[in-house]
Homo-oligomer: A and B are copies of this chain.
Amino acid sequence: MAHRLDPLLAPRSIALVGASNQAGRIGGMPLDLLRHFEFAGAVYPVNPKYEEVFGWRCYADIESLPEAPDLAVLAIGAEEVTPMLERCHARGIRAAIVYAAGFAEAGAAGAALQARLEAFAAQSGMVIAGPNCMGFANLNIRAFTAFAAIFKTVAPQQEPGRVSIVTQSGNVCSALFGLTRQQGVPVSHFINTGNEAVVDFSQYLAFLAQDSGTDCVLGYVEELRNGPLFIDTALRLAAARKPLVLYKAGETERGAAAVQSHTSALAGDMALYRAGFSQLNVIQAQDFSQMADLAMLSGFRQRQGGLRAAVITMSGALGAILADKLIGAGMDLPVLPEALQQLLRDGIPDYGMVSNPVDVTGNIVNNPDFVRTVFEALATTDAVDVVVVNAPGYLLDRMADALADVCARHPRLFVAIDTGAAQSRQKLAAAGVPVFGDLGRAVQALAPWCRWLAQAPATARWAALREASGAVGGQALPASLNEHQTKQLLARHGVAPVPEQVAADADGAVAAAQALGWPVVLKILSADIAHKTEVGGVRLNIADAPALREACAAMREQVAKKAPQARIEGFLVQPMARGGVAELIAGITHDPVFGPALTVGLGGVLTELYRDASHRLLPVDDALVQQMLGELKAWPLLDGFRGRPLGDVQAACASIAGLSRAALALGPQAAQIEINPLLVQPRGEGAVALDALIVPAAAATSA
């Protein structure tokens, strides 16, 4: 077989160990489904109690099967699982699904059972799904290995599946499947990952990325275990223009606690998840019905779109509401170009609206030629990326021909919102126009969809940057670094330091100050002191030599008292920074899932209160850093807000991109690197690191 997970997800033959002849029982439900949906492969129920179940011969044990099937489904208790896996392996079976709960999610005894299972998998190479999972369904080959009641309750699908669902919860898998089918979207794979002892979420995702029957993936995640594979796979899906829509639980503290209590998974840093998802062009879902709507939209993914919308409606009120909603959801409603407004004015009554939203009024539909002209103009103007047509059913019906016709000739995405019961919905969908029945739901799906379309080039660009930046690590991190050495290290990667001099004693400090210019800042120099202010190791605004000598003496004394263990290497003398436009903080952390990541924000206490920070996975280049700064609510401070001088943003970006390069060169040895603050001076005058700190991995762990 082509893929390692094929025996799990596209089995040609299936044994069910612990088979039951009752469709309502776990050991019976998959057999009932395989029979009901007429799975074409071989099915081997295994249970010494029966001769036959659901019309198949039932075997006493795994050893008596006539062949080694692709897959064994184990509907047996947790204690029996690993012994049975050993027998399956001995029988030549390469893959198994474990339904049983009572493993890592259930205390110490369960964790021991799971460790044993994992050890067996590692040693045998067997591909094992679960434990504590509901199993799968491959609807295209009608291979049902899930004990889920949902399959028989929804309309059977006629077309081949094109959307796959992969979740860390069985209940969520069923709910998403039901909603997706309600939307009429055909499904390929139904995958519930369970405890992911052996095969994790990202591995299933990697399978789906190469699956020709999967054009779109809906997922539910509590924790990502394999960050690098997730990143690779998400980029692969993005490159293939297959939308990946993920619901991430644990957004709030209580939600995260629930997640942890649920599967002992750590919810992770949500801000970083959000940033990472956005960078990888993963659509972060807010709602299950929204996910089903996005699955529906994914059927129209060949149509071109973006975040600038034109709204066409028959009602001024609904136009205003749509404008509010689309903009609230992050889209833009540009004022239409004057020529286009003029064209609209010619056919729209006085009480209509021609700017955007456009209110063509109900009267307009008596003029089909004009409607066609309007659509044609909106399909070709450079001013918008997507067109939203909102009309009550019968009016939409009147416009359907014109709409279908224009969409056949132009690739731009047109979306219809039918607030009635249009007859033309099917026809429009066939012509490439998705139709929504609810205004709120339409916006909730359309906005992230358009963001997905718009973000694609940026994600491709980042993928290339990541490719080009090569492997992480390579540069050795010295065992200890004082502030000056830290800045020198970072400077080699492009982080501009403040001009500063090291002085052994007060005489040296005075000489340094004279060279640098008064007033100066005096700092204690010691690799052992991370937080200098707390031990009296920083004095600002020293005006002259006597004051500096006094400060040196006082500082020595105070530091000796407060940090008696610290080896003192002397003093650091810096010119007192003045005239800065803003102070930034730039920090690197190593996320357990996403790896090295950069956080940028404005320095100071208010920024912390307002949580105004921007995050990115590494690598970043100058352009990406500039984008991050632009995302800050405080950005106007760097951009001439209320007559302030423009900041040297270019220099700030160069230094922060240098920080990113340093972080990649050092790799995980440096658990944390921080420039705090980076003083941004007026345009043309640069940006300099006033202070910097590298926390080695060992120190971070022991802290």
- A residues neighboring B (CB under 8 Å): 101-102, 105-107, 153, 167-169, 171-172, 174-175, 220, 222, 247, 249-259, 261-263, 286-290, 314-321, 323-324, 327-328, 333, 350-351, 353, 355-357, 359, 392, 419, 421, 438-440, 602, 604-607, 609-610, 612, 633-634, 636-637, 641-642
Verify A353–B261 contact, CB threshold 8 A: yes
Q: In the complex, how many angstroms separate the beta carbon of A255 from the nearest chain B beta carbon?
A: 4
Contact between B222 and A317 (Cβ–Cβ < 8 Å)? yes
Is A350 a contact partner of B251 (Cβ separation < 8 A)?
no
Q: A261-B355, A288-B439 are in contact. Are A320 and B102 (CB under 8 A)?
A: no
Q: In the assembled complex, how far is the CB of residue A451 from the closest CB belonging to chain B, in whole angstroms?
A: 17
The oligomer's copy count stands at 2
Given contacts A289-B438, A605-B641, A610-B610, contact A353 B320 (CB under 8 A): no
Cross-interface CB contact of A169 among B101, B261, B286, B317, cutoff 8 Å: B317
Give every chain B residue within 8 A of A107 (Cβ-Cβ): 350
A106-B351, A251-B328 given; 17 more Cβ-contact pairs under 8 Å: A106-B350, A168-B317, A169-B315, A172-B321, A249-B324, A252-B323, A254-B327, A257-B323, A261-B316, A261-B353, A261-B355, A261-B359, A262-B320, A262-B353, A606-B606, A610-B633, A610-B634
Which residue of B261, B262, B612 is within 8 Å of A610 (Cβ)?
A: B612
Residues of B within 8 A of A607 (CB): 606
6 A-B contact pairs sorted by A residue (CB < 8 Å): A168-B317, A169-B315, A171-B318, A250-B320, A251-B328, A263-B316
| Cβ–Cβ contact B318 & A355, under 8 A | no
* Of A256, A321, A327, A439, most B-chain CB atoms within 10 Å: A321
Contacts of A171 in B (CB 8 A): 314-315, 317-318, 392, 419
Query: Which B residues are CB-close (under 8 A) to A604?
Result: 606
Specify which chain B residues have a CB less than 8 angstroms from the CB of A317 in the assembled complex.
Answer: 167-169, 171-172, 220, 222, 249, 262
Residue pair A328, B637 in contact (C-beta under 8 Å): no
Residues of B within 8 A of A356 (CB): 254
- How far is B222's CA from A171's CA once the two chains are assembled, in angstroms? 42
Output the least CB separation between A19 and chain B (Å).
Answer: 22
* CB neighbours of A637 from chain B (8 A): 605-606, 609
Q: Which residue of B lies closest to A313 (CB)?
A: B171
A297 vs chain B, min Cβ distance (A): 17
Question: Which B residue's beta carbon lies closest to that of A358?
Answer: B258
Nearest B residue to A262 via CB reads B316
**Contact (Cβ within 8 A) A222 B320:** yes
CB distance from A395 to the nearest CB of B (A): 11
CB-nearest residue of chain B to A606:
B606
Chain B residue, CB-CB nearest to A248: B324
B residues less than 8 Å from A605 (CB atoms): 637, 641-642
Residue from the list B106, B258, B316 in contact with A320, Cβ < 8 A: B258
Which chain B residue lies CB-closest to A174? Answer: B392
In the complex, chain B residues whose CB is within 8 Å of the CB of A324? 249-252, 254-255
Determine whether the beta carbon of B169 is less than 8 Å from that of A316: yes
Bound form: Cα–Cα A636–B610 in Å: 11
Q: Measured between alpha carbons, how far is A421 from B102 in the docked complex, in Å?
A: 29
Q: Which residues of chain B are within 8 angstroms of A257 by Cβ–Cβ distance?
A: 323, 355
Chain B residue contacts of A634, Cβ below 8 A? 606, 609-610
Task: Tell me if A316 and B258 are in contact (CB < 8 A).
Answer: yes
